[in-house]
Amino acid sequence: MKIVVVGCGRVGAELAHRFVGKGHDVTVVDHQHQALDALSPDFRGRIVEGEPLAQDTLHRAGVAEADGVAVVTDNDTVNAVVAHVCNTVYHVPRVVVRNYDPRRLPLLEAFNLQAIGSIMWGAHRLEEMLYNTDTETVFSAGNGEVEIIEMVIPPAWQQRTLAELITGVECVPAAITRNGRAALPAVGGLLEANDLLHVSATPDAARILRARLGQEA
């Protein structure tokens, strides 16, 4: 893949090195020469120094031929404009934007951009990890609005139905693993102690499920 990373702070540099390590063609763009110094001497991609808002800079970076662009500067307004240009002018197939300030997320959403906010996502993950439960968040989508949680069914729920556990909860059962074999869960199926249940749920729904299991533990 041909990837363009706009912004060479810590996130941009790390992302660029990850893509290069997987054999992709990577170009990094930043308007500050000292920011580009964050790349290690053995970086094997291209470097373009220039203002990201300038069309000439994006042209030199090869955005027109890019398979994907990550816009990860520390300015949400710049990110929104650059990503919008990549979408509407260059028609890049995949454009992902960093949300630096959570208060600016509505700006990115107004452009219908796929945005990832490390602050919001990190806060969600820290909150979940502070709960003392037998469940674990194994995947967090977007900025944490939807999670896939892994729950171990306690002995008290032996021979009770999955429907009883999830009724009235905003969630979708994804898989159940029993004796090392995974299967699509049947809502009316009976649970067994130590079943491993994966559920897609909002954070609030995940807390309800944890509470239900904890009440019977």
Contact 99, 111 (CB under 8 A): no
pLDDT for 87? 95
DSSP H or E stretch at residue 181? strand 181-183
DSSP assignment string, 17-74: HHHHHTT-EEEEEES-HHHHTTS-TT--SEEEES-TTSHHHHHHHTGGG-SEEEE--S
Residue where the block lists tokens 């897609």: 200
Domains in the chain, ordered, with CATH? 2-118 (3.40.50.720), 130-216 (3.30.70.1450)
Contact 108, 115 (CB under 8 A): yes
Residue 122, C-beta contacts closer than 8 angstroms, at least 6 positions apart: none
pLDDT for 40? 85
Tokens representing 41?
């001497």
Nearest to 203 by CA among 154, 150, 140: 140
pLDDT digits (tens, 9 = 90+) for 84-99: 999 999 999 999 999 9
Q: What are phi and psi of 83, to 5 degrees?
A: -65, -40
**Interatomic CA distance for residues 78 and 71, integer angstroms:** 9
pLDDT for 85? 96
Low-confidence residues in the chain, pLDDT < 70: 124-125, 127-135, 215-217
The helix-helix angle for 118-129 and 203-216 (nearest 10°) equals: 10
DSSP H or E stretch at residue 136? strand 135-141
Q: Which residues pair with 171 in a beta bridge?
A: 201
